[in-house]
Structures are given as C-alpha cells and as structure tokens.
C-alpha cells in the first residue's frame, strides 16, 4: 500500500495578517483546521508540520502522532520558495511514496476534498494532482491595456461567445491541495508539469487567506458551514 505524507508549511511571520497561522478562526488556530483535515483523511499515513515558530510547533504537538520539523532560519523568509521547504522535508523524511502539500491558509478544504483528490490521482495513475476552481469572472471579460495607445486588448484573442453560458471554462489554482510522487518531485521541483491533473473544488470553499479581509470573509463562510447540521467534517 502506498504511503502519503501530509506536509503543512506554517511560517511564523506574515505581512498581510500578522501571525495568521496561529490566529483564531472560529475558536481554533488557523493551522488546526488543516491538521484536523489531514488527520481525518483515509489516505494520509502521517502528518508533518514544518515551521520556524515554536508556538506553531507546540500547537501541532497537541495532536497525537503529528510530526513537527523545525525549519531553519534561511527557509523561513518571505522570499523562500515552497519547493525549497518541501525538499527540506523530503531530506529529513524521505521514505514516503507521495507528498500532500496542504497550506493552512485554505481552512475550508476538508478531508473529503483530500481523499477525492488522492482517489483521482491514483485512478488516473498520474504523478501530480493540484486543486483548482473555476475562474470568476471569466477571462473572456478581461482585457489588457496597450501601453502605446491605451487601447483595450482582449485577454483571449478570439471572438467572444454571445451568451455567457457558452463561455469556455477556465480554472485557477486555489492553493488548497498539491499531491505528487516524492521521487518525481525531487526531479521536477514543482507540482505543475505537462502531465499534472486537476481536482476541481467549488468556488465557495476556495478561499486562500492572504489579507485581513480574506480572514474575516473566510470566518463568515466557515460559521455558515458550521451551522449546517449535515456537515460532519467540522465536528470534532
């Protein structure tokens, strides 16, 4: 049986929302929602939190079985790439077939989404899978401005469909789930290749917290979801 390591990167510093990864969202630290989603996945073998912040590592340790990895200072700046952090994890924990990269800034992603994405990856025998959501507004409605004359240039240079429902679908990375074969990632150093497949999530759950407004909007949505009696994921 294949092994999956869920990796949750949680740097202590943040410019948009200070200390956002440990900021309370619906009475729990933001990172807790992602730890719980990973632990409830039927595929995840182990959960690992990578951080330079002792408080975040202590939060992770309150969850039984969660691995904590202290991140060195040179991998804790706002200029370091995700691939560098991931490779640091692989160097320390190399014996997993797959990695699942789960950013704590996507707290509305549940264990059900993780499991569906893994199932899609394995069924299609793909090396990589990333989560996306449908782009809104449509790129058909977007334009660039010609710097020379100020003219509007369609972002998609072809005739627009007359009806909105005839628009071709386009998708955005929503930052919630990245899955890949460990050995393949060591070679590509990215989840995005010509053979990467996409797992689509609804826009209503595709919030990536970067600003205080994002945080407050996400909290509003989560409170709404918590009120749904049939939503089992948010119940401990």
CATH of the domain at 100: 3.90.550.10
For residues 59 and 108, membership in a common domain is answered with: yes
Does this model's pTM top 0.95? My answer is no
Percent of the chain with pLDDT over 90: 68
What's the confidence (pLDDT) of residue 106? 96
Phi, psi of 10 (to 5 degrees): -145, 90
Q: Are residues 52 and 72 in the same domain?
A: yes
Is 159 part of any domain?
yes
Domain residues for the domain of 15 are 4-132+172-226
The answer to which of 98-107, 134-143, 213-222, 226-235 has the lowest mean pLDDT is 226-235
Q: For residue 91, which phi and psi values (nearest 5 degrees)?
A: -60, -35
Domain shared by 73 and 179, yes or no: yes
163 and 57: one domain?
no
**DSSP 8-state symbol, 24:** E
Q: What single string gives the DSSP state of each residue in 199-220? A: EE--GGG-----SHHHHHHHHH
Please indicate, yes or no, if residue 234 is contained in any of the structural domains. no
Would you state the pLDDT for residue 21? 94
Count of structural domains within the chain: 2
The pLDDT score that the predictor gives to residue 127 is 97
Q: Which tens digits make up the pLDDT trace of 173-203?
A: 999 999 999 999 999 999 999 999 999 999 9
Question: Does residue 91 register a pLDDT over 90?
Answer: yes
Mind giving me the DSSP string for 74-100?
A: GGSSTTS-HHHHHHHHHHHS---SEEE
Note whether residue 155 is domain-resident: yes
Bridge partners of 69? 50
pLDDT category, 227, cuts 50, 70, 90? Answer: low
Q: What's the pLDDT score for residue 160?
A: 67
Beta bridge partners of 153: 144
Q: What pLDDT is attached to residue 157? A: 76
């Amino acid at each position: 049986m294949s092994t999956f390591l869920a990796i949750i990167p949680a740097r202590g510093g943040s410019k948009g929302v200070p200390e956002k990864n440990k900021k309370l969202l619906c009475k729990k630290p933001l990172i807790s929602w992602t730890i719980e989603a990973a632990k409830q996945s039927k595929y995840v073998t182990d959960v690992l939190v990578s951080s330079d912040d002792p408080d975040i590592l202590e939060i992770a340790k309150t969850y039984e079985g969660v691995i904590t990895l202290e991140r060195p200072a040179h991998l804790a700046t706002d200029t370091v790439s995700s691939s560098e952090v991931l490779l640091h994890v692989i160097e320390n924990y190399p014996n997993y077939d797959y990695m699942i990269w789960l950013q704590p800034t996507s707290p509305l992603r549940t264990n059900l989404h993780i499991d569906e994405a893994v199932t899609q990856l394995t069924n299609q025998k793909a090396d990589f899978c990333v989560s996306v959501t449908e782009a809104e507004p449509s790129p058909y409605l977007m334009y660039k401005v010609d710097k020379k004359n100020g003219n509007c240039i369609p972002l998609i240079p072809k005739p627009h469909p007359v009806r909105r429902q005839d628009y071709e679908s386009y998708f955005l990375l929503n930052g919630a789930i990245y899955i890949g074969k460990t050995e393949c990632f060591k070679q590509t150093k990215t989840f995005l290749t010509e053979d990467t497949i996409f797992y689509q999530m609804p826009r209503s759950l595709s919030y990536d917290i970067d600003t205080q407004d994002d945080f407050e909007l996400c909290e509003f949505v989560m409170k709404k979801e918590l009120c749904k009696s049939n939503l089992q994921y948010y119940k401990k």
